[in-house]
Each structure stands twice: as structure tokens, then as C-alpha cells.
Chains A and B, each alone.
Chain A
Amino acid sequence: MSASIEAPATFRHAAGEQGPIGLVREGITDLWSRRRLVRYLVQADMRKRGADTILGNLWWVIDPLLQMLVYVLFVTILSRGKGVDDYPLYIFACILPWKWFSAAVGDAAVSVVSQQQLIKQIAFPKIVLPVSSATAGVVGFLFGLIPLAGIMLFYPNRISPFLLLIPLIAFVQYVYTLGFALMVSAGNVFFRDLGNVLQHMLRLWWFVSPGLYSLSTLDDVGIFKSHEWLRILVSLNPFAVLFEAYRKVIYGSADNGGSLPGWPDFTSLGLLFLGSLVFLAVTIIMFKRLEPNFAKVL
């Protein structure tokens, strides 16, 4: 029987803690040995979203489109029509990845807490729960590429081979999202109001990230002239890097009269990737340290 079981048969638990490298290795082994569980959890998530709604999985397509429509109306009125060219595509390039991130983080926050009954009754690596939430978001993102393709048809001059770089940027975002998902899922076990705080934080985060505007817009406004430190703060925002990269390959640029899609800034993207890997390692360590206490607190 033991051969047909994915969980380790024999274990030895002693008081005391493992070193950080051991914890990271353990986290990765946990995920690899339970990859089928992750797959099932992602599938279950998809199926649940599809059921119970009139339009089913169509919501994946409609939702970002509606959000785009709201912002387009809103910003066009505010800018008295003197806005950016092809603005719908300009913001859709950022709405799509942001929806993925905010949905994944929101789901991850409750992923551990909502399985409390199971956690108290069977031993399984809890790390699969936030990882599944973050991964389910990827599927939503892929669905979102359908309306993106639809919008692109309205702007045929912006269709370019640079679109093929989307998966690369998305991968960097995935690594960062994983780390964030691990952090909030473990945190929410100990502080149950973290989810509420998070909702507000995410809303604020979206507006301070250059999604509806670009970083150069901030220069035009002159906000950096009086507060130079703000520039550093803004450039430390992972979504400043990600949004600028997505926009560059999907839309191009609206600065200096505008330009068509081109290469993203690989230096900042590469730095973000390295930073995200470190962040992910730190959050795995944190998660594994806290994991033994989940069953006691829940």
C-alpha cells in the first residue's frame, strides 16, 4: 500500500526548527510531490466559477472588459477628450494582469483558513493551497487574452511580434504573485482581519501603480520635482515595472507623440525577476515556519 501513497510513510517530528535552506527545499519537494493535488484544486476552482452564474466562464471575458469601459468613460471625461491615443488598449494591457494579481491574492488570503476542517484532520503540505490560488489566477489571465485579442482587432497597427513576450512578463509576475500569495495566506491564519485590510490595500495599490497612466505622466504632473524620493518609491513598485513592460509589448508608448510596440526594459524586468525569486524564497521560509502552528490556531 505504501507504494501507492504520495505522502511519506515514515516520519520523525522533533522539537526545534530546520534551517532556512532546508525549509525552501522542503517547500519545493512538498509542491512537487503533491502537484496532482494542486492541479485538482485549480480545476475545482475553475469549475466552481463556471457553475452557478448565468454566463458561466464567460465572466472571465466580460469582467475585464466592463472594468475597462468604466475607466475609459471616467478618464475621457476627466481629461476632456484630450487623453491618450487608443486609450482602451492602453489601460486594458494593465487591467488584465492586475485582475489576475488581485484575484489570486484575494483567493490566497482565505485559501488556508477556508480549509481549516481538513487541516485539523489530515497532514498534508498546506503550501499547496496558496499556490493553487495563485495558479488558478493564471487560467483567468489566459481567458483574458481572448478579449485582448478582440480589442487588438480594433487597433491593427499595434499588432506586433512583441506580443509573444507576454508569457515572459507573465512568468515574472507569477513568481512575484506566488510569494505574495504565500505571505497573505499564512498571515490570515493569525490575523483574521488581514483579508479586509488587504482589499483596501489592493485598491490603493492599483491607483498608485502606473496602470491608468504611465510613469512619464507623473513627470509631466511635476510631482517628482518637489519630492525626488517619490520617484525611487514608485520605481520600487513591482507593478510599475510589470505594467510598463506589458504596455510596451501590447500598446507601445504614448510618450513623445507615441510609438508602436517594442522591446520592454529587460534590465528592470530582470531585476524584478531576481527580486521576486528572493521574495518567494523568503515567503516559503516564512510559510514553512508558521505551517506547524496552523492546526493549533485554526
Chain B
Amino acid sequence: MRFANEPPPIHRTGNPDAIRVQDMGVRYDLRFNRKTKIRTSIGQMLGRGAAHQFWALKDVSMRLVQGESLAVIGPNGAGKSTLLQVLAGIIRPSAGFIEVRGHVSGLLTLGAGFDVDLTGRDNILLGGAFLGLDDAVTRRLLPSIVEYAELGEFIDAPLKTYSSGMRARLGFAIATSVDPDILLLDEVLATGDAAFREKSKARVIEIVKAAKGVVLVTHDMNWVTEYCNRAILLERGRVILEGEPADVVALHQEHMAEAHAAQTQMAEKAGIDPRIVLRR
């Protein structure tokens, strides 16, 4: 077992790091959220100006070596998704720095950014433009996306006429049309109907194999031990352990069991049926 402050393992002779993260932190300002109104803010300004800050990630250092597949695991709210957002360049760190070599891409949640008033074809072109794909590339990929999503002549119909299955397939087909150097995966495998899930899983494995590096956030521990060469355990925004997948998974499960036991105990002390508490 190796702890985070020790150099990560892996034979990195001459191989430049695909991702380097140094003492990185992400701070959220809790004063602003999606529900903030001018009225409430003036109220806050007049009231006490307490520091409403929260570090979603703190002092995170890690690296991804070329060719490596790294799993990020941890309980809910540990900052896993925030870490992926930083690696994708969506969120800038509030402290430290990150360096990414090569084109990063995540698999979008199916159908993010779809415009239901536009046709499937327009959505593909627009999606490609948002992803930063060259126009020629998008147009070349178009037939294969249509085929993969099994859309047929629906491609020129507005998206609002699509079934939810068709939308999910189209979303997945667009998302996986990118061919990134570094792939970021955030629990994308749990969508769609059973038949499509099989098909999509096969496609994801294909992309994972083709990518020069993968960072994966998942709760599926089998996937971690099966497909990843290294794992990181995040808890409350900090890296607890970095090392062999099996070791990291073991510690994670140990911590989860402890948390479970503590919750049960607390519930019992409070006289509540622990099953009610734990179901949340």
C-alpha cells in the first residue's frame, strides 16, 4: 500500500505525463448558486458577510501516465466529478495547477445540449461544433452516427418526435464519435435500455482501449479491478490513497463499512430504525 504523498508507482521511463495535477484545490462560493436572486443578495450584503466558502477539492496532486487507465473512487460528494471537470478544463482550479497534454474529452451525459426543435442532423452538426470537431470530420462521421443510433429517415425530423430510446442512442453516438487522447468517464454506463447498454458497453471498452489515457469515475468496483492499472481514493476533497486498484478498492470498502456501522449506531442511539436512515 502506498500513500498519496509518495511518488505514484508505474514505470514512467521517458514517458511524459498526460496529466499532471499539483496541489490543486477547487473552492466553491456558496453565496452564488442557481437560485440566487438580486433581492436575496442585497439582503446578504446588508446582513453579515460571513465567508461562504467550501473546498470541493484540496491539495490534490496526481498524474496520469500515457497509456494508463486510472480509476477515481470514493463516497458521494467526495469531489470525484469536480475532479473530472477540472481535468476536462471546465472548471479552473482555485489553487495549484493542472497540466493536460493531448486532447481531453469526456462522454457527455446522453443528450446534453440537444435542441428538441432541431432535426437530428442539425443536432449532430451543432454537437460536433460544441465538441470542437472539425466540420469535415463531423460530416464524415454523420452516416456512421445515424447508422449506430438506428435513426433511419428520422434523421431529418425534429428531435421532439424521437422516442427516448432514440434520443439516448443519438446522444451516445455523438458522444462516442470523438476520438480523444485522454478519455474522461463519469458513470456513463448506467443509461439506456438493456440491449443498448450491452452495445454501448462494448463501444466504451473499445474507446478505452484506443485512448492513450483514461480517467474513470465509477461506483462499479469490478470495472476498477478489471480495467484500471491504478486507482485513487477521494474522500471529502482529498486524496486518501493512490495505488494498485485492489488495495484502493479494499480501503474504500473498509471505509464504507465503517461509515455504515457508524450510521447504524447513530440511528439506533436516536431510536430510529437504521434501515430508514441507510436507505437514503
**Chain A complexes with chain B:** yes
Query: Which A residues lie at the B interface, using CB under 8 A?
Result: 1-2, 4-7, 9-15, 34, 36-37, 40-41, 43-44, 47-48, 51-52, 115-124, 190-194, 197, 292-293, 295-298
Given known A9-B103, A12-B100, A15-B97, contact A121–B117 (CB-CB < 8 A) = no
B131 within 8 A of A: yes
Residues of chain A with a CB closer than 8 A to B88's CB:
121-123
Q: Is there an interface contact between B97 and A118, defined as CB atoms closer than 8 Å?
A: no
B118 within 8 A of A: yes
Given known A1-B179, A117-B113, contact A192–B34 (CB-CB < 8 A) = yes
B258 within 8 A of A: no
When A and B form their complex, what is the total count of cross-chain residue pairs whose Cβ atoms lie within 8 Å?
142
In the assembled complex, 23 residue pairs joining A and B whose CB atoms fall closer than 8 Å, in A order, are A6-B132, A7-B131, A10-B101, A11-B100, A13-B86, A13-B89, A14-B97, A15-B94, A34-B132, A41-B126, A44-B122, A44-B126, A47-B122, A52-B117, A121-B90, A121-B108, A123-B88, A124-B132, A190-B36, A193-B38, A293-B29, A296-B91, A297-B36
**A186 CB, nearest partner CB in chain B, Å:** 12
In the assembled complex, the Cα of A1 lies from the Cα of B137 at a distance in Å of: 10
Query: Which B residues lie at the A interface, using CB under 8 A?
Result: 25-26, 28-29, 32-39, 41, 85-86, 88-106, 108-109, 112-113, 115, 117-118, 122, 125-126, 129-137, 158, 179-181
**A13 CB, nearest partner CB in chain B, Å:** 5
**A35 CB, nearest partner CB in chain B, Å:** 10
Most chain A C-beta atoms within 10 Å of own C-beta, residue among B25, B86, B103, B105: B103
**B142 CB, nearest partner CB in chain A, Å:** 14
Besides the known contacts A7-B103, A116-B34, A191-B37, 4 further A-B residue pairs in the complex with CB atoms under 8 A apart: A1-B180, A5-B134, A118-B112, A121-B106
Given known A40-B129, A191-B41, A297-B32, contact A122–B90 (CB-CB < 8 A) = yes
Of the residues B85, B99, B125, contact of A295 by C-beta under 8 Å: B85
Given known A40-B125, A121-B90, contact A4–B100 (CB-CB < 8 A) = no
In the assembled complex, the Cα of A47 lies from the Cα of B158 at a distance in Å of: 11
Most chain A C-beta atoms within 10 Å of own C-beta, residue among B115, B132, B135: B132
Q: Is there an interface contact between B36 and A6, defined as CB atoms closer than 8 Å?
A: no
In the assembled complex, the Cα of A51 lies from the Cα of B158 at a distance in Å of: 10
Of the residues A4, A9, A14, A41, contact of B137 by C-beta under 8 Å: A4
**A95 CB, nearest partner CB in chain B, Å:** 27
Q: Is there an interface contact between B89 and A48, defined as CB atoms closer than 8 Å?
A: no
For residue B186, which residue of chain A has the nearest CB?
Answer: A121
Q: Is there an interface contact between B101 and A5, defined as CB atoms closer than 8 Å?
A: no
In the assembled complex, the Cα of A117 lies from the Cα of B114 at a distance in Å of: 9
Q: Is there an interface contact between A122 and B108, defined as CB atoms closer than 8 Å?
A: yes
Given known A7-B103, A14-B97, contact A117–B109 (CB-CB < 8 A) = yes
Residues of chain A with a CB closer than 8 A to B86's CB:
13
Q: Is there an interface contact between A13 and B34, defined as CB atoms closer than 8 Å?
A: no
Q: Is there an interface contact between A122 and B179, defined as CB atoms closer than 8 Å?
A: no
For residue B99, which residue of chain A has the nearest CB?
Answer: A12
Q: Is there an interface contact between B118 and A47, defined as CB atoms closer than 8 Å?
A: yes
Given known A4-B137, A115-B113, A117-B109, contact A197–B38 (CB-CB < 8 A) = yes
Residues of chain B with a CB closer than 8 A to A37's CB:
126, 129-130
Residues of chain B with a CB closer than 8 A to A119's CB:
90
Given known A48-B118, A117-B112, A118-B113, contact A192–B91 (CB-CB < 8 A) = no
Q: Is there an interface contact between B39 and A193, defined as CB atoms closer than 8 Å?
A: yes
Q: Is there an interface contact between A120 and B85, defined as CB atoms closer than 8 Å?
A: yes
Residues of chain A with a CB closer than 8 A to B129's CB:
34, 36-37, 40
**B93 CB, nearest partner CB in chain A, Å:** 5
For residue A43, which residue of chain B has the nearest CB?
Answer: B122
Given known A47-B118, A123-B90, contact A2–B134 (CB-CB < 8 A) = no
In the assembled complex, the Cα of A292 lies from the Cα of B96 at a distance in Å of: 15
